[in-house]
Amino acid sequence: MAYDVLFWVVLTFGAGMLAQWVAWRLRLPAIVLLFAMGLLFGPVLGWLHPSEVLGHAFRPLVNMLVALIVFEGGMVLDIRQLREAGQGVARLTMVALPINWILGALAAHYVAHLEWGTSFLFGAIIVVTGPTVILPLLRSAKLQPRVAAFLRWEAIVNDPVGAILAAVVMQVMLLHVDLHKQLFFVHTLPDMLVAGAISVAAGILPAYLMRYLFTRDLMPELLKVPIMVTLALVIFEACTLAMEGAGLIAVTVFGMMLTNLHIPGLNELKRTKESLVVLMVSVLFILLTADLHRAVLARLSIPILLLTLVVLFVVRPLCIFLATLGTSISWQERIFVGWIAPRGIVAAAVAGAAGIKLSEAGYASADLVMPAVFCVIAVTMICHGFSLGPLARRLHLTLSNEPALVILGGNAWSTDLAACLNDEKVPVLLVDTTAQELMPAARRGVPVLKAELLSTAGQEALEERPADYLVATTGDAIYNGMVCGHMAPHMGRERVYQVSPGVARLDLYRGLSRDARGKVLGEPGWNYTFFDTLFSRGWRFVSQSVTDATVDLFGKEENRLDLLIIRRGTGIFIRSAEDRAWTMPVMGDIVVSMKAPETREVETDAKKEEAELRAGT
């Protein structure tokens, strides 16, 4: 038996990571693949039933993982982003939620014919837009900062609020308030308010304790992540004992406070927890979906399917329209936010627990809560997961679909490189710490940013214009390496480059560690002085479309340094001696090279002759 449990645990981990990798390679929503795997292992093939395999430990395990996911989500909520998003976030979290609840309850009663009590429970559950679904989608979509903040804040803030709202509705239904009005208003409601206040305090005070320990060197680096994760679980469990759903509020506030207290070294901890959350989300989605019984799927009916369609096309859009009246939110943003609202793990967990309790209490339509919520989760994950990117591009709410490049260092030759890319309509951003170094590029129409990328302000400024690749070209090799090391976790270690620090410093044993620098741009001998000298002798950057005659000449011609290959809509391939094999250009690519003046003159003359011949013909 123990080996059977171990086998399914390992299989779930492996399937989850396989789905994440396939989704990354094929640019698909990972949540959809995880959902499909869970259905395949559980209801379809009948291989995996987690609640039977794990017994009573299944539900506490799910709650613990959900708490950690919500805690990590809270660490994404920076107050500065809230100010930038403006009143839209407040409307989505304070005004839209009750409207969504009422409209959802009305739809459940009149469309799916659920009892009023069960209808209000369904409405309370579907106000939750799952951060476990939204956050991975936002990481892969280049949305404009404001609309991304709308979805992020709504998902993370509404998650615990919706769970508490569902707990309150369920408590009222279990008490049969018509018979126990005095008990509810005298005891239950005050207890809920007190538990809510305690939850907020339970999230704030430990955050200040962590800042005290971290800033006074009273916590070794090795223990920071384990202690924070353990503390989040302790807070969650303590507040959950006070009231169902209060633990989610507490861990959300705890994560949010940690971020907004700006504790030094927290970025490294965030990256560690982000990786853990990817693993936890993968496992949770497979387990919860696999635990669905065929009896639940058998209860799916035409009224439930109609209810799902009403929630998607009537309840959510109408809710957003009413909640955002009189705000500065554009009609494109209203349409987008009114459509994108995938539900996730918290909705499934709450529906499963509530449905069982209400069924035992004698509510006839309680058995339909789980099928109805499952149908909403499945349809919204698939429809919203696949449509988020295309709809955002259609409404012009994305920054750019083309791969973008950041060039650090505003010297003469890097400015020429940026101008060459900009002329080819490649999204490029030239970054430097001084305005004087950026002025030549700005005069040539190149987008520039005056910022220190190692600072919080610089990192936030760069987030507004997300980039896929970085090339550090300053004359300070150590600084280039620091920036590359800082940006590598965000962009990927294979996507940050720097001019060579010198052949001696590239020694794998005695030179600069690969973790402390970027990949070498071009050959080891192509350092800053090398490029600067070539530029002073008249070498310049030029772009050239790849044809049948030039497809095999990459890296082989004299007086020409081929550096980049631009493949529209796919990526930017940067030449590096550290690559085991170069990516070779194909027809339609654009090659960016640094060429000697005599080579450029010959090419210019050849182009003029070709143009004259065509004109004569």
pLDDT of residue 231: 92
pLDDT of residue 208: 92
Per-residue pLDDT at 610 exceeds 50: no
As a 3-state breakdown, the chain gives helix, strand, coil percent values, each rounded to 5, of: 65, 10, 25
Phi-psi label, residue 52: left if phi above 0, alpha if psi -120 to 50, beta otherwise:
alpha
Among residues 560, 465, 480, 487, which one has the least CA distance to residue 522?
560
Per-residue pLDDT at 86 exceeds 60: no
Rounded distance, CA 606 to CA 124, Å? Answer: 71
Lowest mean pLDDT among 10-19, 146-155, 301-310, 493-502: 146-155
Lowest mean pLDDT among 87-91, 150-154, 305-309: 87-91
Per-residue pLDDT at 378 exceeds 60: yes
Residues 6+ apart with CB under 8 A from 264: 214, 215
Lowest mean pLDDT among 16-25, 75-84, 184-193: 184-193
pLDDT digits (tens, 9 = 90+) for 491-522: 888 899 999 988 877 877 677 777 788 899 98
Rounded distance, CA 168 to CA 213, Å? Answer: 37
- Classify residue 248 by burial, with Cβ atoms within 10 Å: 0-12, 13-18, 19+: buried
pLDDT of residue 138: 75
The continuous run of DSSP H or E covering 503 comes out as none
Task: Say if CB 76 and CB 156 are below 8 A apart.
Answer: yes
Residues 6+ apart with CB under 8 A from 146: 84, 85, 86, 88, 333
pLDDT band at 553 (very low <50, low <70, confident <90, very high): confident
Task: Say if CB 498 and CB 477 are below 8 A apart.
Answer: yes
Q: How many residues does the chain have?
A: 617
Determine the average pLDDT of the residues in 182-197: 63
Q: How many CB atoms lie within 10 A of CB 479?
A: 16
Q: Which residue has the higher pLDDT, 161 or 1?
A: 161
Task: Say if CB 496 and CB 519 are below 8 A apart.
Answer: yes
Rounded distance, CA 287 to CA 608, Å? Answer: 66
Q: How many CB atoms lie within 10 A of CB 541?
A: 22
Q: Locate 510 and state its tokens.
A: 């005695």
pLDDT of residue 488: 86
pLDDT of residue 418: 94
Residues 6+ apart with CB under 8 A from 390: none
Per-residue pLDDT at 416 exceeds 90: yes
pLDDT digits (tens, 9 = 90+) for 127-141: 877 666 776 777 667
Q: Percent of the chain scored above 70 by pLDDT?
A: 83
3-state secondary structure 534-601: HHHCCCEEEEEECCCCCCCCCCCCCCEEEEEEEECCCEEEECECCCCCCCCCCCCCEEEEEECHHHHH
Q: How many CB atoms lie within 10 A of CB 273?
A: 21
pLDDT of residue 464: 65
Per-residue pLDDT at 606 exceeds 50: no
Determine the average pLDDT of the residues in 451-476: 83
Looking at residue 569, its amino acid is G
Per-residue pLDDT at 362 exceeds 80: no
Q: Locate 326 and state its tokens.
A: 């009189």
pLDDT band at 313 (very low <50, low <70, confident <90, very high): very high
pLDDT of residue 555: 72
Q: Which residue has the higher pLDDT, 464 or 41?
A: 41
Determine the average pLDDT of the residues in 221-250: 83
pLDDT digits (tens, 9 = 90+) for 418-437: 999 999 888 899 999 998 99
Rounded distance, CA 89 to CA 151, Å? Answer: 8
Angle at alpha carbon of residue 62, lines to 60 and 64, rounded to 5°: 70
pTM surpassing 0.85? no
pLDDT of residue 405: 92
pLDDT band at 179 (very low <50, low <70, confident <90, very high): very low
Average pLDDT, the chain: 80
pLDDT of residue 132: 66
Task: Say if CB 492 and CB 572 are below 8 A apart.
Answer: no
Task: Say if CB 299 and CB 356 are below 8 A apart.
Answer: no
End-to-end CA distance of the chain: 83
